[in-house]
Amino acid sequence: MNYTFSSFTDGLKSSAVREILKLTQGNAVISLAGGLPAEDYFPIEAVKEAFERVFQTGGKGSLQYGLTEGYTPLREAIGTRMAAKGVTVKPENMLITTGSQQAIYLLTRIYLSAGDVILVENPTYLAALQIFKASGVQVVGVDADEHGMLMDDLDAKLAQYKPKMVYVTPTFANPTGKVWSLERRQGLLARCKPNNVLILEDDPYGEIQFDENASYPSIFSLDEHPEGSAVLYTSTFSKTVVPALRTGWIVGDSRVIAQMAKAKQAVDLHSSTLDQQALYQLLTHFDLDGHIRTIRKEYRSRMELMKSLLQDARFADLKWSEPQGGMFFWVELPESIDASELLKKAVEKGVAFVPGVDFYAENPRRNTMRLNFTHTDNASMKLGLDRLAEALAAYKQNA
């Protein structure tokens, strides 16, 4: 047999993050690579009890096929959580997905065609870039500073490219950790809506904020009623509860959601109903907000440790900002250092990170890297940064 593949595979590179994950599985490499939450804080008892409650209350009926749109009580419970943040959505405005990754994929599938243009922050989430590129969509980066996209460049690119969509992660962006100002959020909405440009707001990290008193309103919440909204908002429980449940959701105009549900029906019929029911039980019987306060505190303390380690003299020529939430430090190395080459040295020394290059839609800066601070415990993080320092020294010596 001679296998010949579709053009979709041309755009698909196996993500560097996941290849590194494979490389480091089960061996002694300390991984600062993945966007993994800390297992130490997984609410395993609550998850276990949630499943027990599903079997107890749902009986055999809990094991049958379910609705493509998602388990209705779960959609209602998520709606209640969103209402607490000032956003009113009905079940018909929401689709449950296999992680927010699937929400990005499904919206791309139903809304974009090969040749369409999408604007993104540059750099941005690499797995979203993969979807857009594999789908034949032209991805154009918009210039940005620490407060979000620059409105002048956005204006210019809206005029030049007539994009169908803008993809943003305005709160603790991956990989940069950046938070958009309210003004830029409003600015993006004010420019997109009159031009019929859809905004996909990806918010996996929004709940992981280190300042309990800060408020980061979603772009979705700045728009009107979901019906007619220019914004589709997606989030996930992978970072706040546990990744293994693979449960995300997307909200927006019911006509867009309905098209996504039809696509999901073709793609996988529906996501695991057991997981959805368990998550519903967890949301209604577990103090998730209390749990989120705990992980905010713990992740902040891990971030502070990494910050203090990065302030060491061995890293004096690295540039970075202190993240206000999320899971990552975005680090700029000296111009002469190619982070992908540095990674090889680092893995030899026993530490892994993600080179920044794959996060760029265009004009990649090869002297960048992303460091995760949530997954490793204090001892491993110290050891990991020691090893990174060794790798840097070895790289410079050979150069």
Of 209 and 271, which has the nearer Cβ to its own copies?
271
- At 217, the amino acid letter reads P
**SS3 per residue for 173-216:** CCCCCCECCHHHHHHHHHHHHHHCCEEEEECCCCCCECCCCCCC
Neighbours of 266 (CB within 10 A): 10
Q: Could you tell me the smallest distance in angstroms from the CB atom of residue 272 to its own copies?
A: 4
Q: Could you tell me the smallest distance in angstroms from the CB atom of residue 367 to its own copies?
A: 27
Of 272 and 284, which has the nearer Cβ to its own copies?
272
How many whole angstroms separate alpha carbon 392 and alpha carbon 394? 5
Of 245 and 346, which has the nearer Cβ to its own copies?
245
Q: Could you tell me the smallest distance in angstroms from the CB atom of residue 349 to its own copies?
A: 24
Of 98 and 324, which has the nearer Cβ to its own copies?
98
Of 253 and 320, which has the nearer Cβ to its own copies?
253
Q: Could you tell me the smallest distance in angstroms from the CB atom of residue 98 to its own copies?
A: 4
Of 153 and 377, which has the nearer Cβ to its own copies?
377
| Contact criterion met (CB below 8 Å) for 238 and 248 | yes
Q: Tell me, what DSSP letter sits at residue 172?
A: S
* Beta partners for residue 30, in sequence order: 351
Q: Could you tell me the smallest distance in angstroms from the CB atom of residue 91 to its own copies?
A: 13
- At 305, the amino acid letter reads L
Q: Could you tell me the smallest distance in angstroms from the CB atom of residue 319 to its own copies?
A: 29
Buried b (16+ CB within 10 A) or exposed e, 349-384: bbbbbbbbbbbbbeebebbbbbbbbbbbeeeebbeb
